[in-house]
Structure 1
Amino acid sequence: MKFNLKALILLSLVTLPSFFHVASAENTPEEARSFQEFLTYPHVEKGLSAIANHDYGRAVAEFKQARSWSTERPETALYLANAYNLDGQYQNAVEVLEAQLIYTPKNATVISALGNNRKAYDLQLLEKGRALENNISELQTYLADNKPFFFDAYDEHGWVDLLAKAFAKEPERILSFTPHFATNQAYQDQIVLEAALTSGNQVFASAYIKELASKLNKDPQLVEFLSYQLAKDGGTAQAIQILMQAYPFVDASPQLQKKLVLRLATMIEQNPKLVSTTELGILAKPMNSFDLRGIQANLFAALKNCSVVRSLLSDFSIPHSETEWRLLGQCYQVNQPGLAEYAYQKAMAMNPNIVNTRAYAYQAFAVKNYSQSLSAWRSMDIKEMSNQDLESAALTAISAQEPQYALDYLAQLDQRSAPKDALYWWLEAQLELKEYPSIAAEDLKKAIALAPTVAYYTQLASIQQELNQTTEATSSLEAALKLDPSNTNTQASLAYAYYQNGQMVQARTLFLSANQAQPDDSRAIKQLAYTDQKLGLNEEALKYTELAIDDYHLQAPDDLTAENQNQLFGLQRMHEDLTRRWTFSVDATGGNQVTTVPNSGQPGLTSRSYSQAEAAYRLGDPAIDDGKTFSAYSRVFAGSGTLNTALPLYAPMAAAGFRWKPIGSQNINLAVEEQTPLDHVAGNQTQAMLRASASFLNSGAYSDDWHPTGPGWVAQNLYLDAAHYMTSGLTSLTSDYRISYHDKIVIGQTIEPYTHLQLNTLNNQVNHDLRVGLGVRWNYWSGNTQYNAYPSKVYIGLEAQHAFTTYLNEKNVIFLSLGGRW
């Protein structure tokens, strides 16, 4: 900075004569002053003349000489400093003026001149450095050799800029200079960190931030400045480190603290991998205001850490904001969906906007509160609902059994000409399902074409089964299983379809797979029992039957439904049948007149009384193959003979033969036997008999077997019998339809009133015998175990008959019957 030369000369000429007189204020003795004036005056005059001639070097020499004779006077210091200034020697000017301040510390002129020269010296250093900017090595040497103390913050900032340029790859050397202005100290911290980042020196950056810890903790403004600048320049990791270093910013004002917490939360939310588990633990500790806890909760909600969110917002004594209730709703969704619904409801109550209402509608649907979910959907302006919202609302309406609203939402989609996705067609299928299953099936096929899912295929298969499209249903289930081969429900459904189609091997494979995946699934266990029974794998069938029975017995008897009890009894009956080899039976009748004896050992027999005892043994291995059996049997039977007695003890005969049940699902028996008389009564002879018999209409609910549920049951049976005697040529045909009601007395006992219509024909009789019977029986079942249904049954009955037409002498008869099976 140059002084005004003309003004300075003029000032000197005017003031020079009195110059030394003015100095008397400095309390210099009069003689000494006079002598100093004598010595310095010539040099001052020569120095001013040299300045006028622009000979600044000569001026400096003269003023130095004058200064040597008057070392304490401010005037000589000002002349010399000005000469140095004019000659560009600002540092020397500064040194002279600083020395003068020791003697005259309050001299305003000296202070002003010192400030101007300091500024000039700072600028001189700065300009020298800037002149070297294109030669980094020289600039580095220059900066290393000079450590100026700047009195102007702007100039000091410029020096720091030079350091940043010179040591861009050596951030530690930037620290060789220490700024004394606070703004430049913060700026130096910034450029040091930026240089470290630019040069890839992450280790140094991290270490330097740690060194700044105490400063950061005391200066939240510095934290704000550095974190902002670093984040802006791509140093997000370092910005987070700085913020974490000063967290929780207790020395900051509430506004700045909230700003810094929000900045930190936002950075972490966007860069979650930049913080450690330990740091997250620090951030999880509740802060001292609900505003800050709300920011924390938002952060951890974004990080999917709901346990922390719940902890931060667990103090319900403090009113929660709408956003916080929504966050709680999000965090309760998985483990506590009911509380999630409550939280969303609170948010909606505070602000029933579309965001909160939508969230509540979805959550209410998730907890199957379909009516409230539908109410929420209906409260929304349909024009503001997205296409997805409309589909979800339609789904809710169908779930709430309010199909008319579903129709409205789907109609709105149609009005918008919205693309019809898979869910749309599935929803259409649900609306058509009851009345138009064929149309529903077509809708599901459209859904599958767009987005095949296991659920779509499974429902399509169910409709196809309802439409008796068994092949198509099986194909649909096969397609579903291809989508998810490990889906045990699909495996079981397809296995059942195979079972229904008679594809037992395929069914068993899938049932086994489902059972391996879910060993406790009772449905798969039961179906394995049935399937193995169908395949004749009796040992396996027994194993699964026992497992299924055990599963029922784990439940309290009172907890078993009627269906459960019937299924349990069916399994026990199957178990008993699979383990049976021997069957023993006894039958006997005795009446007041001769009558026909249906289902007797001698078809076509007419007798007043009759009795027989039989033992049958199932041959083969297995003894029973899917209901098919082949048995050897032997029996003894007798009747009233020629004595016409009510005691069936006469004309006894022995018979032995084979009985074949060729169809497992039908009670049809074919037999061949040889009958041999035991008393050799005249007329009796050994003969062979061929026989076919069958029972129909007596399965399931109408069987004579014990029924575990209800007070009783209706039973019926159509019995058909055809027999031919090879020796005599006699042929007998019998048809008997019987219907009864079993009235339970106690468990295992019934009183059974019944009636039946019976037709008998013989090829040696012209007429046939048609009669009706009315009677009552007492039945008693016994011998059941945990796994076996009643293997034994005995009965005693009384019956009256009337023949409409007959080849016998009497039309009316009363007789007693009894029998048993073991």
Structure 2
Amino acid sequence: MKTKWILALALACHSLLASADRAADLQSEVGAYRRFLIYPHLNKAFELQGQGQWQAATREFERARKLGPNSPSTALYLADAYRRQGREQDARRLLEKQRQATPGDERIAEALHRLQTADTQPPSKPAQSATPANNNASPPPASAETAAPCKDPLCLAEQGMRALQAGRLSQVESLLAQTGFAASKPGRALRRQLAQSAIAQNQPRLAIAQLDWLARNDSLGAAEAEQWHRLLRQQGRQDEADAALRRLPGQFLPTERFDLALRENQPVQAESLAGKLLAIHGDTLLDSLSFRLEQAGYGAPAARLLLASYPFARQEEALQLRLLHRLAAVIPPTVNPAQRDKLAQPLPTPALREAQALLLKQLDDCRSIRAVLGDGSPHYGAQSWLLLGDCYRQDAPGLAQHAYARASQLDGGAQADKALAYQAYANRDYASSLAGWKRVLLNDMNAQDRLAAAASAVQSHDWPQAEIWLDASRDSDQAAYHWLRGLLAADGHGDQPLAIREISRAAAIDPQPAYYARLASLQNQSGQATEALQTLRQATQIAPDDAELLSQLGYAEWQTGHAAASASALERAATLRPGDPALTRQLVFVHARLQNNSQALSYAEQALDAWPAPAGDEETEQRFALSRLHEELSRRWTFSLDAWSGSNPSPSSGANASQAYRGYSQMMLDYRLGDPASRDGRTLSAYARLFAGSSEQALPLDAPMLGAGLNWKPWRDQVIYLAAEQQTPLSGAAGQRSDQMLRVSASFFNAGRYSDDWHPLGQGWLAQNLYLDLARYLQAQRTAFSADYRLSYHAKIAEGQTLEPYSHLQASGSREPGAADYNDLRLGAGLRWNLWQGQDRYNAYPSKVSVGMEFQRPLHSSYSPGNAVIFSIGGRW
């Protein structure tokens, strides 16, 4: 009977030990957080059991049960504690309730069966709890029963359990030293219980030895493996803990394996374990795992881990923000297209979109940043507006300035004010740029900032502020510093010598085209035309492809009379800047000066074809002047007609200057000689004219004469003609004879705004002319002269038509040996109708017809003392 009871007790102990072994693994029963709360109570309970404090241990098991009310393992621990205190009914009720909650759990069914079996067996001696076990005291002497020889594994297990209950752990260790028993199932169960008791009694080395044996000869559960590893670390035996971890199957202790992979610099394994932990626990560990990967220097694995869970929608916003910022810190510069598209989808709240934009910044994806922040939410901070401004800067500078302005308004500090100032300057909004710089403290500016600020002040003509920033940069020897000093001297203080020195220094340090261009302009203003020309020549040597410098050089060469050099520079500039209207127009005049009329005409036509419409007043005048030049350059033949008839005789510088005419008429045909016909305003022409006059009749048809000769205009800018003419009578009228005439004629004051040529602007214009004529007749030895000053006003009545009231003062006379001198001085006033015709796409009006009526009053006359009314007609085609 006794043997049967011992066997039943050993089997019951073995079953309970096996149940406890299985219950240690709570991982499948409660979450990680609950398990974290439960374990301290379980460990405390085991420790109290080892000290014999059964009631206190039971209370700890009850606390663990409250934290895991549906856990079969906590039910088994508490039921075993009740049983040890003789509270079998409480244990049975607890297990029955748990069986209803988890009807399929075999451990609960086995525990209930053991309790029912124990009810039919003699009760065991209750455990004593008055005095805690003393680990250092010698074990009490064995009773006759425990000392009796025992070879059966169940018997040995029963002895070991009694020794554990009595706190004699060394005795249990001795029992387990028996090879056959240690390898048996009851022996392995007893060893597990010994390990737990050693942990409870704070004997970690004994516990480690048992768990190590089990790891090599049996299999550890998850809870045992965790205890083993923790004990080794608590003992400072990290290497052994790591070695033990390597021997365990891979499904055990993923957290500890992750720590080990980080310590051993195994990023691939660490990333894999992090993925397993996330699969087990969900995204709750994403923050800590990604943080530890980042801290270990494994940015790419951390990025992959975070990208796999992006956009972290199941997390609270605060954690989402932290994860977004971490992803921004570790994300690689390139991601695959699918990931990029996912990252570019705007997140739901302004705070998240701001963090998202920082992430996209790392990918240099301005298009997506503009999409994410482009709604312009009022909740965006200064940094987001700065980022948006950076992304607008290249393609939309105006929007960039707006974004920087918002950042500045949101107190983005010196960074925002600087960004605004630089962008506004680039947009040529110098006032806004200056306002931005004024908000930046001088101490917050570096050397480049101070010069940029001074540039904005110079452009805004805020000379005192420019001086402040330039004085703060006094130690600088940068070209920009001297350039700004030069502009301040020239435009702010009117000190051109200082400006020339400073800008010369800037150009010497950094030969910028703008420096040379302004230096040459200052030199021209100071009367240093030669120096300006040399500056521009030097500049084009340094920057031969700068169209602006070449064009300036072309103008400078033109102004100093170097037409060929001007043409060369302007042609090069036009090649670099094709279609530039100013260059094209200037080339017309340059080639006309060089007598390259065909090229001048070609450029004139190009300029006229490209002329903007509508044009302003100045451009309208320039266009007419260009078309007038085109007409002049293309003219070869000229036909003119002049005739007048009066009520009384009047003097004429025509055929016979010693005779007064009542009527006079002339037709002339002029042909310009040479190729080209006009040589920079100088011409030589052959002409023939038919003229006649009448002293008595109204019609000027008497005594016709033919004149033929050469007419030479020797100067470009002066309307002075020299003529030599052979005159031949065409009738046998008395007193007519052949003669040769040498003639000088000139016109002054009749140019530009005072010319009689059509003016395209205004309702009319004032005109004046001083005409001088001196003729010498070689055969008759007669000299004739006339001078006529006329002042008139052309009142426009239609396009190409004017009514011209005028007045003039005329003096004339002749001298001839053997004859009386003839002199005449008279005033005239009249009205003419003028008609201009023939204007086309390229040519100004080539022909003009005038019809007029004039009243003359002689002041002194050798010809006729009476007043005269004269009708005149004239034309040029």
- Matched with 1:265 is 328
- Say which SS state the counterpart of residue 577 (structure 1) adopts: helix
Whole-Å separation in 1 of the counterparts to 2:569 and 2:724 = 42
Whole-Å separation in 2 of the counterparts to 1:28 and 1:748 = 137
- Matched with 1:611 is 665
- Give, as a single letter, the amino acid of the residue that structure 1 aligns with 2:623: L
- Matched with 1:522 is 581
Q: What is the TM-score when the length of structure 1 is the normalising length?
A: 0.76
Whole-Å separation in 2 of the counterparts to 1:246 and 1:724 = 111
What is the CA-CA distance between 1:651 and the residue it aligns to?
1.1
Identity of aligned residues (%): 35
Q: Summarize deviations over 1:601-646 as a string: whole Å, max 9, x none.
A: 6677643321110111223332223223222221111111xx4333
- Matched with 1:344 is 404
- Matched with 1:236 is 299
Which is further off, 494-503 or 220-229?
A: 220-229
Indicate conservation of the 8 Å contact 2:520/2:536, yes or no: yes
Indicate conservation of the 8 Å contact 1:638/1:650, yes or no: yes
Whole-Å separation in 1 of the counterparts to 2:207 and 2:799 = 119
- Matched with 1:153 is 229
Q: Summarize deviations over 1:425-448 as a string: whole Å, max 9, x none.
A: 444444443644444333322333
- Matched with 1:488 is 547
Task: Select which of 488, 504, 507 maps to 2:563.
Answer: 504
Task: Select which of 89, 101, 107 maps to 2:189.
Answer: 101
1:638 aligns with 2:692: yes
Q: What is the TM-score when the length of structure 2 is the normalising length?
A: 0.71
What is the CA-CA distance between 1:355 and the residue it aligns to?
3.6
What is the CA-CA distance between 1:95 and the residue it aligns to?
4.4
- Give, as a single letter, the amino acid of the residue that structure 1 aligns with 2:680: D
Task: Select which of 838, 850, 862 maps to 1:795.
Answer: 850
Task: Select which of 167, 177, 181 maps to 2:253.
Answer: 181
RMSD: 4.5
Q: Assess, with a 3 A threshold, how the Cα gap between structure 1 residues 94 and 734 changes in structure 2: closer, same or farther.
A: farther
Please list, as runs of the form range in 1=range in 2, the aligned pairs for 1:31-70 lying within 5 A after superposition: 66-67=151-152, 70=155
1:467 aligns with 2:526: yes
Which is further off, 304-313 or 701-710?
A: 304-313
Whole-Å separation in 1 of the counterparts to 2:263 and 2:744 = 108
- Matched with 2:490 is 433
Which structure is richer in relative contact order (CA contacts within 8 A, separation 6 or more)? 2
- Give, as a single letter, the amino acid of the residue that structure 2 aligns with 1:742: H
What is the CA-CA distance between 1:585 and the residue it aligns to?
0.4
- Give, as a single letter, the amino acid of the residue that structure 2 aligns with 1:187: D
What is the CA-CA distance between 1:78 and the residue it aligns to?
7.3
- Matched with 2:798 is 746
Q: Assess, with a 3 A threshold, how the Cα gap between structure 1 residues 110 and 630 changes in structure 2: closer, same or farther.
A: closer
Task: Select which of 85, 110, 119 maps to 2:208.
Answer: 119
Q: Assess, with a 3 A threshold, how the Cα gap between structure 1 residues 81 and 428 changes in structure 2: closer, same or farther.
A: closer
What is the CA-CA distance between 1:319 and the residue it aligns to?
1.9
- Matched with 1:305 is 365
- Give, as a single letter, the amino acid of the residue that structure 2 aligns with 1:309: I
- Give, as a single letter, the amino acid of the residue that structure 1 aligns with 2:372: L
Whole-Å separation in 2 of the counterparts to 1:439 and 1:421 = 17
Task: Select which of 730, 736, 745 maps to 1:684.
Answer: 736
Whole-Å separation in 1 of the counterparts to 2:505 and 2:807 = 57
- Matched with 1:696 is 748
Indicate conservation of the 8 Å contact 1:387/1:418, yes or no: no
Indicate conservation of the 8 Å contact 1:118/1:151, yes or no: no
1:780 aligns with 2:835: yes
- Matched with 2:341 is 281
- Give, as a single letter, the amino acid of the residue that structure 1 aligns with 2:399: L
What is the CA-CA distance between 1:492 and the residue it aligns to?
2.6
Which is further off, 99-108 or 324-333?
A: 99-108
Task: Select which of 666, 671, 686 maps to 2:718.
Answer: 666
Whole-Å separation in 2 of the counterparts to 1:70 and 1:742 = 144
Which is further off, 255-264 or 480-489?
A: 480-489
Which is further off, 795-804 or 208-217?
A: 208-217
Q: Assess, with a 3 A threshold, how the Cα gap between structure 1 residues 352 and 121 changes in structure 2: closer, same or farther.
A: closer
* Long gaps (5+) in structure 1: 1-24, 34-47, 49-61, 129-147, 167-172, 197-204
- Say which SS state the counterpart of residue 504 (structure 2) adopts: helix
- Say which SS state the counterpart of residue 375 (structure 2) adopts: coil
- Matched with 2:651 is 596
Whole-Å separation in 2 of the counterparts to 1:281 and 1:583 = 78
Q: Assess, with a 3 A threshold, how the Cα gap between structure 1 residues 475 and 110 changes in structure 2: closer, same or farther.
A: closer
Which is further off, 230-239 or 520-529?
A: 230-239
Whole-Å separation in 1 of the counterparts to 2:519 and 2:689 = 56
- Matched with 2:386 is 326
- Give, as a single letter, the amino acid of the residue that structure 1 aligns with 2:456: T
Q: Summarize deviations over 1:760-813 as a string: whole Å, max 9, x none.
A: 353426575444433332211111122221111011223334455555453754
- Matched with 1:542 is 601
Count of equivalent residues = 722
Q: Assess, with a 3 A threshold, how the Cα gap between structure 1 residues 385 and 802 changes in structure 2: closer, same or farther.
A: farther
- Give, as a single letter, the amino acid of the residue that structure 1 aligns with 2:616: T
Indicate conservation of the 8 Å contact 2:648/2:869, yes or no: yes
- Say which SS state the counterpart of residue 576 (structure 1) adopts: helix
What is the CA-CA distance between 1:700 and the residue it aligns to?
1.7
Whole-Å separation in 2 of the counterparts to 1:506 and 1:92 = 117
Whole-Å separation in 2 of the counterparts to 1:610 and 1:696 = 24
1:574 aligns with 2:615: no
1:293 aligns with 2:369: no
Whole-Å separation in 1 of the counterparts to 2:647 and 2:404 = 85
- Give, as a single letter, the amino acid of the residue that structure 2 aligns with 1:263: R
Q: Summarize deviations over 1:514-571 as a string: whole Å, max 9, x none.
A: 434443432222223333333333333333322322223x52xxx3211121112112
What is the CA-CA distance between 1:467 and the residue it aligns to?
3.4
Whole-Å separation in 1 of the counterparts to 2:174 and 2:659 = 157
What is the CA-CA distance between 1:156 and the residue it aligns to?
7.8
Q: Assess, with a 3 A threshold, how the Cα gap between structure 1 residues 480 and 226 changes in structure 2: closer, same or farther.
A: farther
- Matched with 1:248 is 311
Q: Assess, with a 3 A threshold, how the Cα gap between structure 1 residues 74 and 164 changes in structure 2: closer, same or farther.
A: closer
Q: Assess, with a 3 A threshold, how the Cα gap between structure 1 residues 125 and 508 changes in structure 2: closer, same or farther.
A: farther
What is the CA-CA distance between 1:279 and the residue it aligns to?
3.8
Please list, as runs of the form range in 1=range in 2, the aligned pairs for 1:71-110 lying within 5 A after superposition: 72-75=157-160, 95=183, 99-101=187-189
Q: Summarize deviations over 1:737-764 as a string: whole Å, max 9, x none.
A: 3322211121111122223333435342
What is the CA-CA distance between 1:330 and the residue it aligns to?
3.1
- Say which SS state the counterpart of residue 646 (structure 1) adopts: coil
What is the CA-CA distance between 1:661 and the residue it aligns to?
2.4
* Long gaps (5+) in structure 2: 1-114, 125-138, 140-146, 217-223
Q: Assess, with a 3 A threshold, how the Cα gap between structure 1 residues 74 and 770 changes in structure 2: closer, same or farther.
A: farther
Please list, as runs of the form range in 1=range in 2, the aligned pairs for 1:157-168 lying within 5 A after superposition: none
- Say which SS state the counterpart of residue 788 (structure 2) adopts: strand
- Say which SS state the counterpart of residue 665 (structure 2) adopts: strand
Q: Assess, with a 3 A threshold, how the Cα gap between structure 1 residues 312 and 580 changes in structure 2: closer, same or farther.
A: same
Q: Assess, with a 3 A threshold, how the Cα gap between structure 1 residues 583 and 63 changes in structure 2: closer, same or farther.
A: farther
Indicate conservation of the 8 Å contact 1:661/1:669, yes or no: yes
Whole-Å separation in 2 of the counterparts to 1:267 and 1:65 = 66
- Matched with 1:199 is none
- Say which SS state the counterpart of residue 650 (structure 1) adopts: coil
Q: Summarize deviations over 1:411-465 as a string: whole Å, max 9, x none.
A: 4643675436444444444444364444433332233334332222222222333
Which is further off, 647-656 or 413-422?
A: 413-422
- Give, as a single letter, the amino acid of the residue that structure 2 aligns with 1:565: T
Q: Assess, with a 3 A threshold, how the Cα gap between structure 1 residues 68 and 497 changes in structure 2: closer, same or farther.
A: same
Whole-Å separation in 2 of the counterparts to 1:303 and 1:805 = 99
Indicate conservation of the 8 Å contact 2:453/2:469, yes or no: no
